[in-house]
Amino acid sequence: MGEFVSLEVEGGVGTIRLDRPPVNALNNQVQAELAEAAREASERDDVRAVILYGGEKTFAGGADIKEMAERTYPEIAKFGAALTASLATIANIPKPVVAAITGYALGGGLELALTADRRIAGDNVKVGQPEIQLGVIPGAGGTQRLARLIGPSKTKDLVFTGRFVKAEEALALGILDEVVAPDDVYAAAHKWASQFANGPAVALRAAKAAIDGGLDTDLASGLKLESHLFAALWATEDQRNGMKSFIENGPGKATFEGK
C-alpha cells in the first residue's frame, strides 16, 4: 500500500503493519499511510477484524522529534491536527481492532495503541507518555483516550511524570489487556482477532458504535443510542440466522454472513 504502512489480509483478519525503521516514528507520511490503511480496512468486506502491528522489535516510538523540533506554531498546529485525525480514522474502524505491542509504545506510539479495542503486549514491553520531558504534552489522545481508559488520576501520574511503565504495571493499570511472551505477541493478537472472522459483522459494528458512542455522552443518551442500534439489527440476515439457529440447534452454532 504505502512505503511505511501496509494492509495484509488473510482469513478475514487484516494486519496494518508499520515498517519505518528503526522505531516506526510517526512522521507526516506514516500518519497519512495509517489513515489510508484504516479506511481500506473499514471498507473491505473481507476484513472482519484488524491487528495493529509494528513488527517484532518495536510497536511505535512516537512522533519524529527531529522533524518536530524546528516547526513553528502554525506548522505544529497543522501537524497535531493531522495526527489526531489519522488516529481517529483508526479508532473509528467499525470492526474489532487489537494492538500487538512489541518493544515499546511511547508518546504517539501509545496514542496509536489506545485507538485499538484491545492491547496485547510482550512481557518486556514499556509504554508511556514522555512528552512532558520535552516540555510539551501528549497531543493525539494521550490525555483523553488514556483518561477514559484508566481514569484521570492514574493518567495524570503518567503524563505529569512522563515515566516509562513496564508491562506488568501497565496490565495492572488497565493500559494493557493481556501480556504474553515477546515471541507470542502477534500470534496472541491474531488468535483474538480471528474469532471474529466469521462473526456477525453488522452486530459487531453496532456493539462498537454503542460502546464508543455511549462513552462520549450521558447515560440517558447512551441508552437511547444502544436501543436504536439494537432494534436496527432486526433488519439483518445475521439476526434471523442467529436466532433460528439458537432455537433449532442451541447456542454458539450459528453461521453468519455478515449481512
Residue positions annotated with a catalytic role: 111, 131
Q: Return the DSSP state at 189.
A: H
Domain shared by 182 and 221, yes or no: no
Domain shared by 142 and 209, yes or no: no
Summary mean pLDDT of the chain:
94
C-alpha–C-alpha distance, residues 159 and 94, integer Å: 29
The answer to whether position 254 is within a domain reads no
- Tally of CB atoms within 10 A around 44: 13
Domain shared by 238 and 127, yes or no: no
What CATH number has the domain bearing residue 94? 3.90.226.10
Domain shared by 92 and 137, yes or no: yes
Number of domains in the chain: 2
Q: Residue 258: is its pLDDT beyond 90?
A: no
Tell me the range of 17-31, 89-103, 238-252 where mean pLDDT is highest.
89-103
Domain shared by 133 and 215, yes or no: no
Domain shared by 96 and 211, yes or no: no
3-class secondary structure, 90: helix
Distance between start and end Cα atoms, the chain: 28
Order of strands across the sheet that contains 13-18? 5-10, 13-18, 49-53, 97-101, 118-122, 178-180
Burial class (CB in 10 A: 0-12, 13-18, 19+), 235: exposed
Give pLDDT, residue 67. 79
